[in-house]
């Protein structure tokens, strides 16, 4: 009979047995999974753990600040915060292909992480918040061959090159179980309840090339959308909600002038594990309110559309 309390005790014992008196590095992504892994490991081995947070410049509004505050101030867990946004954004300049974006970000992430690890004297183990669904890299459609849809850069890769062994205490868990564990470990409920966020961040929510200007526009639209969702009391019902900035400009009219600005698509889905998903049936008045706010408040967007595609046949992210 599986309970969270017994899982937690077993996980703590397993981490201690695996790590001994070795040093562990944990890469924080800003998401729930790596945060729960870090807090669990910290409970098991205390100061043998150091966390590294690589900010690739593709995070949402205030995200980096929230993570750093949580770990340094609330938990007192040693945290190296690297602002690597210049490095990532220069490498991504002109890159438009979704998988090339992922590969560029994944490779750079390893380089930056490796350099930071070396600076603090290295470690014997690398901890990751890998979940069970992350382990299943390819999706097989019934009757058809197995096809890789998207390469998720947060699975594998690092340790082989870095000569570190992997610590992945969440690899048998699903998202809802990680949230139960996170709450049991005392993480703030608002943090534990956060929607999943992909490793490549906003890079895969800007089809076409990525610029600082587009990132800024997308962050503002996304923040307004999420604020309205929270205010409507819908945040916890929805698996993931986010804005996508389309590389399309359309004509509009505002005041007595013509506008020629970008289109923003809104996405919201319900899901159990991210493998399949249904688009969320907002009522139209809500969508209309969000659209009006985004168009009035965000310079650079003059049209908003809502994505009514479920998964399959769509994927959750647009890239």
Q: Which residues are annotated as a binding site?
A: 29-35
The one-character DSSP state at 294 is H
**What mask of x and - would describe binding to ligand XMP in positions 266 to 305, judged by CB under 6 A?**
--------x-------------------------------
The single residue listed with the structure tokens 């603090």 is: 120
Q: Is 27 in the site for ligand XMP (CB under 6 A)?
A: no
Distance CA 38, CA 129 (A): 8
- How distant is the alpha carbon of residue 246 from its chain centre? 20
**What mask of x and - would describe binding to ligand XMP in positions 163 to 192, judged by CB under 6 A?**
------------------------------
Lookup: tokens for 204 = 């895969």
**Closest to ligand XMP by CB, 242 or 261:** 242
Q: Is 317 in the site for ligand XMP (CB under 6 A)?
A: yes
Residue 69 has phi, psi (to 5 degrees) of -60, -45
Q: Is 315 in the site for ligand XMP (CB under 6 A)?
A: yes
CB 46 within 8 A of CB 77: no
Q: Residues touching ligand XMP: how many (CB under 6 A)?
A: 16
83-122 residues in contact with ligand XMP (CB under 6 A) are 102
CB 165 within 8 A of CB 277: no
Least distance from ligand XMP to the Cβ atom of residue 18, Å: 24
Q: Is 30 in the site for ligand XMP (CB under 6 A)?
A: no
Identify the CA nearest to 31 among candidates 3, 70, 4, 5.
Answer: 70
Lookup: tokens for 146 = 């197995």
Residues at the site binding ligand XMP, with contacts judged by CB under 6 A: 102, 149-150, 152-154, 196, 198-200, 240, 274, 311, 315-317
């Amino acid at each position: 009979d599986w309970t969270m309390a017994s899982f937690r005790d077993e996980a703590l014992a397993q981490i201690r047995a695996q790590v001994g008196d070795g040093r562990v590095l944990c890469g924080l992504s800003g998401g729930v999974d790596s945060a729960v892994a870090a807090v669990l490991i910290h409970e098991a081995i205390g100061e043998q753990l150091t966390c590294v947070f690589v900010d690739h410049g593709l995070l949402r509004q205030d995200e980096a600040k929230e993570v750093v505050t949580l770990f340094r101030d609330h938990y007192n867990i040693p945290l190296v915060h690297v602002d690597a946004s210049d490095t990532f954004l220069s490498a991504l300049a002109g890159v438009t292909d979704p998988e090339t974006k992922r590969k560029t970000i994944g490779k750079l992430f390893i380089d930056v992480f490796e350099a930071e690890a070396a600076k603090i004297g290295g470690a014997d183990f690398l901890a990751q918040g890998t979940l069970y669904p992350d382990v299943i890299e390819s999706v097989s459609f019934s009757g058809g061959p197995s096809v890789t849809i998207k390469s998720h850069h947060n699975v594998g890769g690092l340790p082989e090159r870095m000569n570190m062994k992997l610590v992945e205490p969440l690899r048998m868990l699903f998202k809802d179980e990680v949230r139960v564990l996170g709450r049991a470990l005392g993480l703030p409920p608002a943090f534990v309840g956060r929607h999943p966020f992909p490793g490549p961040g906003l890079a895969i929510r800007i089809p076409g090339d990525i610029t600082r200007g587009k990132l800024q526009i997308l962050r503002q639209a996304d923040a307004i959308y999420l604020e309205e969702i929270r205010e409507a009391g819908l945040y916890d019902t929805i698996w993931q909600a986010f804005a996508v900035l389309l590389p399309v400009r359309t004509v509009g009219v505002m005041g007595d002038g013509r506008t020629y600005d970008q289109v923003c698509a809104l996405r919201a889905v319900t899901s159990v594990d991210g493998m399949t998903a249904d688009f969320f049936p907002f009522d139209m008045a809500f969508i209309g309110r969000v659209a009006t706010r985004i168009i009035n408040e965000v310079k650079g967007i003059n049209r908003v559309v809502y994505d009514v595609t479920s998964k399959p046949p769509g994927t959750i992210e647009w890239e």
